[in-house]
Copies of this chain bind each other. A is one copy, B any other.
Amino acid sequence: MSAVPSLSAPDPVLRSGGSAPERNPAVTALQQALGAKVAVDLQTRTSRSRDRSHLPHGVADAVVRCASTEDVAAAVRICAAHGVPVVPIGAGTGLEGGANARPGWVSIDLSPMDRILRLGPADLDATVQAGVLKSQLNAALEPLGLWFPAGPGVDASFGGMASTSASGTMAVRYGTLRENVLGLTVVLASGQVVRTGGRARKSAAGYDLTRLFVGAEGTLGIITEVTVRLHGQPEAVSAAVCSFPTLADATLVVQEAVQAGIPVARVELLDEAMVAAVNAYSATGLPEAAALFFEFHGTPRSVQEQAGQLREIAAAHGGTGFDAAVGPQERDRLWQARTDVLPSCQALLAGSVTWSTDVCVPISRLAECITATQADIAASGVTAPIAGHAGDGNFHLAFVLAPDDEQAHAAAAGVNERMVARALAMGGTCTGEHGIGMGKLAALAAEHGPGVQVMAAVKAALDPQHILNPGKVLA
């Protein structure tokens, strides 16, 4: 499970300095059809051939900067005719190599598709192009008293969030992208365009193609437009931070809160190492102990009620410093610090790379899984602070690695492999929200066994040439 797939060929551009695009007839055809939208300069190709992961990548032969679904369809049709693989990329914030390209491939850049197509305040929905960022939609929704709370802390695009079934800190209350996508426009491997789902809140009409494409990481089709549910901005918000004697204590508080059905909007777990990293990076001044960050949404009364219930549970587990009266500015600062866990970790070691990985387990096993993982980290001698969307049973490690330290990389791979095996043995999943990409292919097989053959049959049916982001999700 630890083996990282190696690229079958080193990048010819980087190796030779020559121009691979000139040798790729699909690129010539793309240029004829799409003109200046097709970038072949090395800088563009390099920057648009990878996500934020530590995983290997090549450089695509061309980047098609798509402005519309029609551009994507045209590009895919041309690539299909030449048997050339395509890989979609939006904000490029993925963590498992989902957007990583290889030489000979064409990168379908959706970031120019940045138009909000429709706001439907009366139906609490909106339709956006795939390249629209979460922050952009939320800025447009703010004056309407609405927002889109799902998705990661990093400012991701809707195409990418839908493609990885993203979730983030508020999934415990508002659901993941899976629950918040109502419909999609998708370009298929043939270049044909289909619309899935619709604007009704629910439907029993045929197979759920929407949820088939959500989380498929661009391997079954390229998502170009997304219709999402919106939520009303909460009338009242309060936040709290609480420190605990041990990580297990903090985790038990989360378990009990979830079991009691308290509708907490966010409940984030940071281990001692992560609190130290965050303190150093964001000057948060928290006690260096396991901590929970809470946020409560509702009417002023219900927010008060929820905070009171949580304070009691926390106190029963030795929690200290619970203060639900944090003001809006302090609250924003706190959550920004939580959002910045990856740069906080990276700052622990000058010149380091981070490798972020996640698993998700049934909440009753969270304390056991997370403490066993922490012990493994200590025994393995790697630096890997822990943070998690604990209310979902989802947690992350951020390995902090010197780029050339092969021994540390191998140790990290071992910790990751054992963490995945531990999560699966507990009835959990190898990834709660980062996706499979190219980093967790073996983990997917371990988790789903014969189910992977079903996935492969679906893939073969929808992409018989295997040109849609091949080697991702499925080997």
A25 at the interface (CB under 8 A from B): no
Nearest-CB distance from A312 to chain B (Å)?
14
Residues of B within 8 A of A452 (CB): 206
> Does A393 touch B at the CB level, under 8 Å?
yes
Question: Which stretch from A3-11, A75-83, A212-220, A410-418 is at the chain B interface?
Answer: A212-220
The reply to whether A427 and B363 form a contact with Cβ atoms under 8 Å apart is no
Query: A435 in the interface, Cβ–Cβ < 8 Å?
Result: yes
Q: How far is the CB of A236 from chain B (nearest CB, A)?
A: 12
Partner of A179, one of B165, B179, B362, B363: B179
Task: Give every chain B residue within 8 A of A204 (Cβ-Cβ).
Answer: 164-167, 215, 429, 431-436
What residue of chain B has the Cβ atom nearest to residue A192's Cβ? Answer: B450
Which residue of chain B has its CB nearest to the CB of A435? B204
Pick from A240-248, A288-296, A440-448 the stretch touching chain B: A440-448
* Closest chain B CB from A275 CB (angstroms): 25
Question: Is B432 within 8 A of A203, CB to CB?
Answer: yes
Closest Cβ–Cβ distance, residue A115 to chain B (whole Å): 19
Distance in angstroms from A449 CB to nearest chain B CB is 8
CB atoms of B444 and A167 under 8 A apart: no
A210 to B214, CA, bound (A): 13
Q: Give A363's nearest chain B residue, CB to CB.
A: B123
With an 8 Å Cβ cutoff, the count of chain A residues facing the other chain is: 88
Chain B residue with the shortest CB-CB distance to A392 = B201
| A214 and B208 contacting across the interface, CB-CB below 8 Å | yes
**A392–B123 Cα gap in the complex (Å)?**
10
Q: Does A382 contact B (CB under 8 A)?
A: no
Cβ-neighbour of A207 out of B260, B299, B458 (below 8 A): B458
- What's the number of copies of this chain in the assembled complex? 2
Q: Which of B199, B362, B392, B436 contacts A125 (CB 8 A)?
A: B362
B364 touches A202 (CB 8 A): no
Partner of A427, one of B176, B199, B209, B220: B199
Q: Does A462 contact B (CB under 8 A)?
A: yes
Residues of B within 8 A of A428 (CB): 198-200
Quick check: is A336 within 8 A (CB to CB) of the other chain? no
Interface residues of A in 358-383 (CB under 8 A from B): 360-364
Q: Does any Cβ of B come within 8 Å of A193's Cβ? A: yes
Given A178-B208, A460-B461, A473-B206, A362-B200 contact (CB < 8 Å): yes
Listed by A's residue number, 18 A-B pairs whose Cβ atoms lie within 8 Å are A194-B454, A195-B451, A198-B429, A200-B392, A200-B428, A201-B392, A201-B394, A202-B392, A204-B436, A206-B448, A207-B455, A207-B459, A212-B212, A232-B260, A299-B305, A301-B302, A457-B462, A458-B462
Spell out A's residues near B (CB within 8 Å): 120-125, 164-167, 171, 175-176, 178-179, 188, 192-196, 198-209, 211-212, 214-216, 220, 231-232, 255, 258-261, 299, 301-302, 305, 360-364, 392-394, 423, 427-436, 440, 443-444, 447-452, 454-455, 457-462, 473-474
Known: A204-B432, A211-B211, A457-B461. 20 other contacts (CB 8 A): A123-B362, A124-B259, A165-B208, A178-B211, A194-B451, A195-B449, A196-B448, A200-B360, A200-B394, A201-B394, A203-B429, A204-B215, A204-B436, A205-B431, A206-B448, A206-B455, A208-B208, A208-B214, A299-B302, A458-B462
